[in-house]
Amino acid sequence: MSDYLFLLAGIVFAAIGGELFVRGSAGVASVLRISPSIVAVTIAAFATSSPELSVAINSGFAGKSQLSLGDALGSNIVNISIVLGITVLISGIPVGAEVLKRDAPVAILAPFLTAILLIDGMIDRLEGVFMLAIFAAWMASTVTLALKNRTPANGQVTVTDRVLPWGQVLFGLLLLIAAGRLIVLSTTGIARDFGIDDFIIGATLVAFGTSVPELASTVLAKMKGHDEIGIGTVLGSNIFNSLFIVAVAAIIRPIRVPLMEVAPALFFGILSLLIALPQRHTGLVRRRQGVLLVLMYSVYVMSLLFVRR
């Protein structure tokens, strides 16, 4: 019975947290006079990637950095195929030119970089530092562009107007992270009660649960007309996972894993990003792309089952 109560609490936390996060992100962007997509792709993306960062640090010190690599790559697939796919099914999402120019190329190139570094079966500490340097360069360019394109100040901003949005973002993100943990715990317990295999639980329910922060914020951002917040959070989270989190894990303890073991995750991660690219003449990610993304995730899970057998 407690698992069902935890599941209900997780859903409620996701709804409230997503509402506060979206409202706060828009407010922070207004206070800082920058694009909401910048807030989403930096602050929000880092916060929603905190579960993966925790895995990276803990697995690194435990001598199992390959777990962090698998978690990061799997989360990237869920972010695009499930989070963005479900959101696009509501209606098409317009993608701004700055996002396509600044963030999409980095998100697409990161898996290729990982594959190149794993040709010898290892990402060592020096390569981890190299990945971290690329991440720092992207972050610096993002912040520089945001400061350069700040809008003019419009009237006097009170202390409440400055502080309240940050509080909403922080509290909303805390609720979203708590929602993800509650949903993982509850659905795992329910699945085990029905005798479902642990591997299936991990590949589906746990992966989905850890992406609840991204899903709730992206769907609610879509419903409130803040598409740039949703798409920014998803792409930013993928960049954080691929470059920052994997780099941290490799610096703590070199990641040793055969390239062929992670090839399916790399392939489907790249494929999902290519499917999600907006049409050139409209700048929209359309519903049919959402259908393809959700179907692609189903194929990915089936491929994992096939390899397992």
pLDDT above 60 for 231: yes
Domains and CATH numbers, the chain: 2-150+158-308 (1.20.1420.30)
- Tell me the average pLDDT of the chain: 79
CA atoms within 13 A on the CB side of 44: 39
Report the distance separating Cα 127 and Cα 173, nearest Å.
31
pLDDT of residue 153: 60
Residue type, 130: F
pLDDT of residue 117: 92
Between residues 250 and 189, the one the model is more confident about: 250
Between residues 124 and 224, the one the model is more confident about: 124
Instruction: Give the other-Cβ count within 10 Å of 7's Cβ.
Output: 17
pLDDT of residue 158: 65
pLDDT of residue 147: 75
Write out pLDDT tens, residues 163-201: 888 888 888 878 877 776 777 677 777 777 777 655 456
The pLDDT of 219-247, averaged and rounded, is 82
Between residues 8 and 205, the one the model is more confident about: 8
Contact 42, 243 (CB under 8 A): no
Q: Tell me 151's DSSP state.
A: P
Write out pLDDT tens, residues 59-87: 777 777 777 787 788 888 888 898 888 88
Between residues 211 and 288, the one the model is more confident about: 288
Expressed in angstroms, the distance from the first to the final Cα of the chain is 33
Angle, helix 104-117 to helix 259-276, in steps of 10 degrees: 170
Q: Is the pTM of this model over 0.95?
A: no
Least confident residue range of 25-39, 87-101, 133-147: 25-39
Split at pLDDT 50, 70, 90, the class of 286 is confident
Structure tokens, 287:
């519903």
H runs (alpha helix) in the chain: 2-32, 36-39, 45-48, 50-61, 65-78, 85-90, 97-102, 104-117, 125-148, 159-193, 198-200, 207-210, 212-223, 227-239, 246-252, 259-276, 287-308
pLDDT above 50 for 103: yes
Q: Which of 57, 72, 70 is nearest to 252 (CA)?
A: 57
pLDDT of residue 199: 47
Write out pLDDT tens, residues 136-172: 999 888 888 777 766 666 656 566 667 888 888 888 8
The pLDDT of 104-116, averaged and rounded, is 90
